[in-house]
Structure 1
């Protein structure tokens, strides 16, 4: 997916660094993703979830909280309240650009932050909230800090390590982190909520998910992450929850009524990135693109893939229809189609010797042992009679008009 590097202004005089994952095609809505404690927008969960949502047509922002990654400010003085302020600023940015309502998704402490921020932002601008491994007891996160917290409270600040990294924390950080009753906040929300958690999470126990789920109102959903660890370090776990959240989120950001759905034919709309387009048929939509090696984002089949597929699918359908009508013991076919741009030199039916003729090469494998040799030959003959084959080899004209 195309990725935009953006900055988000805060009311505290510094900017947050963000990466906005854009759909290749049209935008159906927007979402913001909050990363885990001391992580950054480049964490595996942040990248996987935001890109999965973009594939569903949802522009999704991941950003660095105050003092982390590329964002300004002092992490040691920020605390949980600052995380909420960062999310409010990010949600404002998305609502201004794309309109609301938006989805809010958070991982670990970021999950707690999106729940608290949704309560502040307002239900009219939030379509739903999803959490991954979120704590119900926000001060629980202080247990992951290696350092003398009592000394910080006494002296006002001190050095600590979190996840092997050194930080300076202030008394203000501790106070802001402790001053939240998350289950009480969740109980006030009147929003769709998805809670995902691993029963084997060794950092934030599964009882946290139970407390959040019990406090939440319907519509609420729970997804078990099986044997996943807290940080979703296994690619399969990150892919799984990313696709689940994308499918869940699409329910609350429905297709826009003004998107093109032709009565016949297709409508192709330019999208984001260099080559991305979105194809609409009367009942389907999908993305076409170019490979990365050709400057695209590789988010969908290429135009020539679609051309090859048109011939291949029509061939398979035509043979199946004939076999069913004749009662043949046909168990299916595998049709491989490739495109050759310059077929002139070995073309044996060109009018001019130097003509540049293109060709489609089709290889058909008939499946099943019950067909006789005669039946196989007849099915190959039928393949040449498929409608797309006839169109491509017929006298085809393309007429272009401009619509005002």
Structure 2
């Protein structure tokens, strides 16, 4: 599922986003502020219209104010809209933004994210917590969207955190939804990586959701950015989750699905990314379980294989080639992509070479480069989540003693973990 190439983003990477100016005021025009307020006013009616179906507001958000009200407003829709227009006070809306500590960008603003303009139903108003200067700085770098299931396995959570941290350390902005599971793990990893991140909410940007993530939400307001198309104070609705997924897909040059069951909402994000011509990647998961059935299906259908941050950077910036050379080998796929792009390390300027090597070093620091003896590698390759020594030995064709010795080494290296019942699982470093 490959879209447009994005290797052109090998420009100078900022050390991090600016500290943020807090509430910088609304640059949105009156028309777009009114549209945003109308969407908030109609949110429950949209939910009533879509509940029980797909819940994606397909086509609804493209409608004009009149047609949207007619579609969801029922009897007296025109009178409702006329009353809303009479009562709407632009200056009061701006004051409410100030009280909530939010900025508001509209489609006519020079600060409005360019990626969103590719959407046929781009939000008229985008509400921002953390400051539009910080948001602009984050979007000036390569952007990767990381999504996955809320009920994620420990392995998926570790992979998501490693991806977030590794990409952030390499100067890539991570976008996700602040939801339970994979989203929060990716966000926490990104904050540890030092670059910052963007959270896209299905509620108003001033409404922490889920409430259990209030601490993470406050950290984002202080050091990252939060965006939403819904006005202040709006509670999340079932329709607003798939609606926000289209925003996440449009912001990212690559969408990575870490782990998703067959009906996971993260597959909606991947679908939106494909429709926009953006790249989609997925982390391979166990084929005999339900947890990765959806993400494995993406791989079957042509999504890029993502094993760690280096795979993402290889696609975005060509860093994987340098990483491979550092180990004395070069992947054929990476060479082909670089040759196709006319990109050869010998032709790089000293400045660009230093930057690419710094990115590769950041990946090595986070994910580690581990060389293993052949027998230990066989055991690692044979480990599947939840299996014991006997099953691993059958797969690796090694004795129980050899397997136990190898597993002991792999545990010390942080490549596998063991639960209280003696079952082993690979970590994201494995």
TM-score normalised according to structure 1 size: 0.29
Decide which structure has greater strand share: 1
